[in-house]
């Protein structure tokens, strides 16, 4: 061991450190997502391949050998949304950009008050907070607003008789930039059947981007927070505010 350290150069230390950092970031990125489950599945396939070689199971070994021969293509197909999301984060801008912590707190407070009010009246709503990954492709098909975030305006957008109450409201850098934005629906078969279109749209968007989505159920008047494709349901006002602060600050 001492001989190894004796021949260790500073470029080697830098190389090891960079590789460790990249692996750490990748694990954090996929932890708790479907990608992690798929990676576990690939590890099981690799273990089966090794076992088949050791035990002399020629047919299984041939099948797995051909499968693993195309493993790069398989990984690209399976993780295409995760790869796209990671690449779009390169060089992206932060969530609120210019606004300071106090202004951000005011924005989150207005959002929380509006969501709680909508839930108490059982008025459905879907709000999306843009973070590092831009949402221009969804904003462009919506109705432009460019207005300061306020409880009253947020509520009025989702009133049943409002012409822009369908779809999602997108908030960027502390401003309401567009309403009536239509989002991609998740095709995850593991989602609960109790989740409606708004929840599936929120999950679909947060699977492909790092946006944060808030859903108000019209049927039950319950509040949900969706981050990285994961749904946290039955939140009250303080819980929502606390969760938003943690997610955005983190």
Tokens of 244: 């938003």
Domain enclosing residue 243, as ranges: 101-249
State how many domains the chain has.
2
**Does 110 share its domain with 233?**
yes
CA distance 144 to 235: 29
Rounded Cα distance, 142 and 136, in Å: 10
Q: Do 162 and 51 belong to one domain? A: no
Q: Would you list the DSSP string of 173-219?
A: TTEEEEEEE--PPP--TTS-TT--HHHHHHHHHHHHS--EEEEE-TT
Q: In this structure, what CATH number is given to the domain that contains residue 173? A: 3.40.1700.10
Same domain, 108 and 36: no
Domain stops at, among 47, 62, 88: 88
94 found inside a domain: no
12 and 124 fall within a common domain: no
Q: Does residue 96 lie within any of the structural domains?
A: no
C-alpha 83: how far from chain center: 13
Question: pTM value?
Answer: 0.63
- Judge contact between 209 and 88, C-beta under 8 A: yes
Q: Do 129 and 244 lie in a common domain?
A: yes
Beta strands in 30-141 (DSSP E): 125-129
Closest listed residue to residue 114, CA positions, set 159, 144, 146:
159
Q: Are residues 107 and 223 in the same domain?
A: yes
Are 224 and 198 within 8 A, CB to CB? no
Q: How far is CA 59 from CA 54, 56, 64, 67, 119, in A?
A: 13, 9, 9, 13, 58
- pLDDT beyond 60 at 1: no
144 domain residue, yes or no: yes
In a domain, 93, yes or no: no
State yes or no: pLDDT of 4 exceeds 70. no
In a shared domain, residues 224 and 184: yes
Domain boundary residue, one of 88, 120, 150: 88
* Contact (CB, 8 A) for 212 and 206: yes
C-alpha closest to that of 172 among 223, 206, 132? 132
178 shares a domain with 117:
yes
Give the rounded percent of residues in the chain with a pLDDT score beyond 70.
79
Query: Same domain, yes or no, for 117 and 210?
Result: yes
Q: Does one domain contain both 76 and 128? A: no
What pLDDT score was predicted for residue 82?
62
- Regarding whether 123 and 82 lie in a shared domain, the answer is no
* Predicted local confidence at residue 87, as pLDDT: 61
List the one residue out of 152, 175, 174, 154 whose CA is nearest residue 164. 154
Q: Which of 69-78, 104-113, 148-157 has the lowest mean pLDDT?
A: 69-78
Q: Are residues 108 and 70 located together in one domain of the fold?
A: no
Min mean pLDDT across 63-72, 117-126, 217-226 is at 63-72
Listed residues 88, 115, 136: the one ending a domain: 88
Q: Are 221 and 122 in contact (CB under 8 A)?
A: yes
**pLDDT tier at 242 (50, 70, 90 boundaries)?**
very high
Q: What is the pLDDT of residue 237?
A: 92
């Amino acid at each position: 061991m001492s001989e190894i350290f004796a021949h260790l150069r500073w470029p080697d230390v830098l190389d090891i450190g960079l590789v460790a950092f990249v692996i750490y970031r990748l694990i954090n990125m996929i932890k708790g997502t479907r990608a992690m489950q798929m990676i576990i599945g690939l590890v099981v396939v690799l273990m089966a391949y090794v076992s088949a070689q050791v035990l002399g199971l020629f047919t299984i070994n041939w099948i797995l050998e051909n499968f693993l021969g195309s493993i790069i293509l398989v990984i690209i197909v399976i993780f295409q949304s995760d790869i796209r999301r990671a690449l779009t984060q390169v060089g992206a801008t932060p969530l609120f950009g210019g606004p300071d912590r106090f202004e951000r707190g005011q924005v989150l407070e207005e959002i929380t008050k509006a969501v709680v009010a909508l839930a108490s009246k059982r008025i459905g709503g879907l709000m999306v907070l843009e973070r590092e990954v831009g949402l221009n492709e969804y904003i462009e098909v919506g109705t432009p607003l460019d207005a300061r975030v306020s409880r009253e305006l947020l509520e009025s957008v989702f009133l049943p008789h409002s012409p822009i109450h369908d779809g999602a409201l997108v908030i960027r850098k502390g401003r309401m930039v567009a309403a009536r934005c239509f989002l991609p629906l998740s095709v995850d078969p593991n989602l609960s059947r109790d989740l409606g279109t708004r929840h599936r749209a929120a999950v679909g968007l947060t699977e492909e981007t790092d946006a944060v989505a808030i859903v108000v159920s019209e049927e039950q008047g319950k509040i949900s927070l969706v981050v990285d494709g994961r749904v946290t349901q039955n939140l009250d006002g303080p819980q929502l505010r606390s969760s938003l602060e943690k997610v955005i600050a983190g």
